[in-house]
With several copies, the nearest count.
Chain A
């Protein structure tokens, strides 16, 4: 049989047109239907990265989606996602170059989760081994890579990085206790949305024997304030907290989402002087850091830097804290249209 396509895959691998894994070669015959599904003309400008003098065209976005393994049916998610990544508020070039080794974390919420059959239960924060979760997450990282290092302009300096830089997509339960994720960013409960933030990898939070919501939140809060959290740096971008069903059963009994956020904001604090002692605060500190010696200090700069997503399977008593990269302080949340 003809192995021309295999040669093309190798050619992509050898030529820097990859994230390191096999891609679907971006033949025009595959890119065209993807463009049509996205509702764009090939030369439409999807976004501009002014600092790099880069205009990102629809053809490039569609080619990236094909290469990641996405189906044209995912286009409503991909369209909003591409616009979010290229929103200047997100600072995608910064995400690519930082020593923080950050990834583009993708959160999908609302009716789209069930409509497109995202996995939102077992291994919902990664490695669910389902095509839509894996390839949508990969698409976001490839856009980041192709706009940065791929273009030959930027070099990634991630000190250690994390595996989410290949694919990091979380789909929220279609039924939530506290309302859909995107309602924390002003969208209507009935909407579908894709939300992105620059992040480190998830820190898992296990608690098998607490019988109260406060016990679960204390465990999550303690993770948010360990000395190694990047959030103690002079800048902070906060955290995404993912609560799985077995923990949620306890937490929702005693806390609304707003109350849980307030509880973590007030209780997850450490002595500023201890942070100084261990080397987490510069001497002299920057004015921007608002350091108050002797006081209890939160890893959040504002309470709004904390948001909650409901995902994961029953049967295990785990939740997770995802630390956000400090250099991209904006969460970008876009409504998904045309489902």
Chain B
């Protein structure tokens, strides 16, 4: 796999020091303001929420995953959430709600 993004982050600021004078280079790269949502890899509570993005077989895979997890005694939300389409962003309200979820959110299983 590719290197994690943290190794690749481009410089925020470059300074040119030629022989005659110094000049700041104009940063061409737009950055998120405020900071983008941070992903927490370790959930705070052992609970799983499933989100289907409607690619083919995604819902079937999620239903199967829910069954296996439940058999292993893990708490899984009964309702599988859905977003309209794999190629469009999640509605803001859904994103805001999921960003408060202390358990694990599993979304966008690809076919």
Q: Do A and B come together as binding partners?
A: yes
Which A residues form the contact surface with B (CB < 8 A)? 1-2, 4-5, 7-8, 11-12, 15-17, 25-29, 31, 49-57, 59-60, 62-64, 66-67, 91, 93-94, 99, 119, 121-122, 142, 146-147, 149-153, 155, 208-209, 234-235, 282, 285-286, 288-289, 313-315, 326-329
* Residues of B contacting A152 in the complex (Cβ-Cβ under 8 angstroms): 5, 8-10, 31
**Would you call B67 an interface residue if the criterion is a C-beta within 8 Å of the partner chain's C-beta atoms?**
no
Tell whether A15 pairs with B14 under 8 Å between CB atoms, given A1-B19, A27-B23: yes
**3 closest A-B pairs by CB:** A16-B10, A4-B18, A282-B56
Shortest Cβ gap from B53 to chain A (Å): 11
* Residues of B contacting A54 in the complex (Cβ-Cβ under 8 angstroms): 30-33
CA distance A50 to B36 in the complex (A): 11
CA distance A121 to B1 in the complex (A): 7
Interface core residue of B18, B21, B30 (most chain A CB under 10 Å)? B30
**Would you call B26 an interface residue if the criterion is a C-beta within 8 Å of the partner chain's C-beta atoms?**
yes
Query: Chain B residue with minimal CB distance to A246?
Result: B110
* Residues of A contacting B19 in the complex (Cβ-Cβ under 8 angstroms): 1-2, 4
Q: State how many residues of chain B have any CB contact under 8 Å with chain A.
A: 40
On whether the beta carbons of A327 and B86 are closer than 8 Å, the reply is: yes
**Would you call B73 an interface residue if the criterion is a C-beta within 8 Å of the partner chain's C-beta atoms?**
no
Dominant SS among interface residues on chain B: loop
* Residues of B contacting A94 in the complex (Cβ-Cβ under 8 angstroms): 87-88
Shortest Cβ gap from B15 to chain A (Å): 9
Tell whether A53 pairs with B54 under 8 Å between CB atoms, given A11-B14, A91-B88, A209-B111: no
Tell whether A53 pairs with B36 under 8 Å between CB atoms, given A26-B25, A208-B56: yes
Shortest Cβ gap from A71 to chain B (Å): 17
With contacts A99-B110, A209-B56 known, what are 14 further pairs, Cβ within 8 A? A2-B18, A2-B19, A7-B16, A8-B16, A8-B18, A54-B30, A54-B31, A63-B27, A63-B28, A94-B87, A149-B5, A150-B28, A152-B5, A209-B111
CA distance A99 to B2 in the complex (A): 13
On whether the beta carbons of B20 and A2 are closer than 8 Å, the reply is: yes
